[in-house]
Amino acid sequence: MRALPGKTSEKGRVFSVGDFLEAAQERLRLTLVEGGESLGRKIDEPIVSRPGLALTGFFGHYGWRRIQLIGKAETAYLESLSPAERLSRFAALLEHGAYCFIFANGRKPGADTLALMRVHGAVVMVSPLKTRVIYRESAFVLERLGAPESTIYGTMVEVAGLGVLFEGEPGLGKSETALGLIRRGCALVSDDLTCVRREVGKDIVYGSASDSTAGYMEIRGIGIMHVPSLFGVAAVRGEKRLELIITFRRLEDVKGEIDRIGQKRQVKKVLGVEIPNVVIPVSEGRDLVNLVETAALQEKLLLSGCDPVGELSERLRRRATEHSKRKGVNKGDVPCQIK
């Protein structure tokens, strides 16, 4: 599997205040009131934090690297102070490194506060939403922005409920196999290029198409096709968890390498997460659609706890034991060797 250059990272993306504003503006109904020239500032800790005790002058464990949320309680406390004292409290936050503020409940800071923010190059945003709503919704936005992600070559399809990624050299039939599966009721996630992201704090990887190519496929000899228009909206998925990678390789390139029994489970790492991997040899006459569908069903069986190889091995062991007992062979006997 070949990752494209750019945002590949197992630790997470680095993003700016401007990226947060763009991603959260509609969801949080944010209005930028100060600091447009500082939107390129990187967010060191993707968390929204309420300054709380820091407003009273206690800066032990103060999370200045986070976005500062000025909610109802903070506003009530600040309004209880004189204008000069209120300004000094904000000045202390800024001197300790605070650089981005969201004011909840539509409470826009005064002109003197905005002037102070401007001097320190801080970003100030206002939202009409309640404090708890901003706190909750911003967590989803920040988690998505900070999630490790990459773009890899491969076609992804939902098969039997599993997100399955096909990879391999060009011309081995990845898109044609995906098309055959779609005609059987499966759904396209992405064609040729797949955007993958890892959920923060979990060993889960999701795959999707880019915004510009979602729903489109390219088939050699036919050209570009729009899958929802041909097969209906149920034939596409916006995003799907990646649970199986199928590698297409030419038969002559894998002779002697394939585990025909399937006893050894192969995996591939995507953003640091191990994903089950199956290698399917490609040769003339092989029904790749049927093989991929069967591989997905086999993976679902393994995920449910059923192990066909282990069960068959146990069955053969029991048969051999019963056969030995019928023949009167004791445990200490050495079987005869056929010459």
Q: In which region does residue 161 sit, left (phi positive, over 0), alpha (psi from -120 to 50) or beta (all else)?
A: left
Q: Are residues 154 and 219 in the same domain?
A: yes
Distances (CA, A) of 162 to 44, 51, 283: 35, 44, 25
In terms of average pLDDT, the best of 6-10, 294-298, 311-315 is 294-298
Total domains present in the chain: 2
In a domain, 202, yes or no: yes
Give the rounded distance of the alpha carbon of 105 from its chain centre: 32
Of 93, 124, 146, the one marking the end of a domain is 146
In a domain, 334, yes or no: no
Instruction: Give the sign of the dihedral formed by CA 122, CA 127, CA 132, CA 138.
Output: negative
Q: Are residues 68 and 156 in the same domain?
A: no
Q: Are residues 116 and 164 in the same domain?
A: no
Q: Are residues 38 and 125 in the same domain?
A: yes
In a domain, 170, yes or no: yes
In a domain, 207, yes or no: yes
- Pseudo-torsion of CA 225, 243, 299, 275, nearest 10°? 120
Q: Are residues 242 and 256 in the same domain?
A: yes
The number of C-alpha atoms within 13 Å of 154 and in the hemisphere containing its C-beta is 27
In a domain, 277, yes or no: yes
Q: Are residues 113 and 213 in the same domain?
A: no
| Average pLDDT of span 36-50 | 92
In a domain, 254, yes or no: yes
Residue 24, H or E segment: helix 17-28
The answer to whether 28 and 129 are in contact (CB under 8 A) is: yes
Give the pLDDT band (50/70/90) at residue 258. low
In a domain, 324, yes or no: no
C-alpha 127/C-alpha 251 separation (Å) is 60
Q: Are residues 105 and 70 in the same domain?
A: yes
Of 107, 127, 146, the one marking the end of a domain is 146
pLDDT at 314 over 70: yes
pLDDT in tens, 135-159: 999 998 998 888 888 899 999 999 9
pLDDT at 5: 46
Q: CATH no. for residue 171?
A: 3.40.50.300
| Average pLDDT of span 316-326 | 80
C-alpha 191/C-alpha 170 separation (Å) is 12
pLDDT in tens, 157-178: 999 999 999 999 888 889 999 9
Q: Are residues 291 and 168 in the same domain?
A: yes
Q: CATH no. for residue 99?
A: 3.40.1390.20
Q: Are residues 129 and 182 in the same domain?
A: no
Q: Are residues 104 and 160 in the same domain?
A: no
Q: Which of 31-35, 46-50, 100-104, 199-203 has the lowest mean pLDDT?
A: 199-203
Domain range for 177 is: 149-307
Q: Are residues 137 and 169 in the same domain?
A: no
Give the pLDDT band (50/70/90) at residue 263. low
Give the pLDDT band (50/70/90) at residue 77. very high
Q: Are residues 185 and 49 in the same domain?
A: no
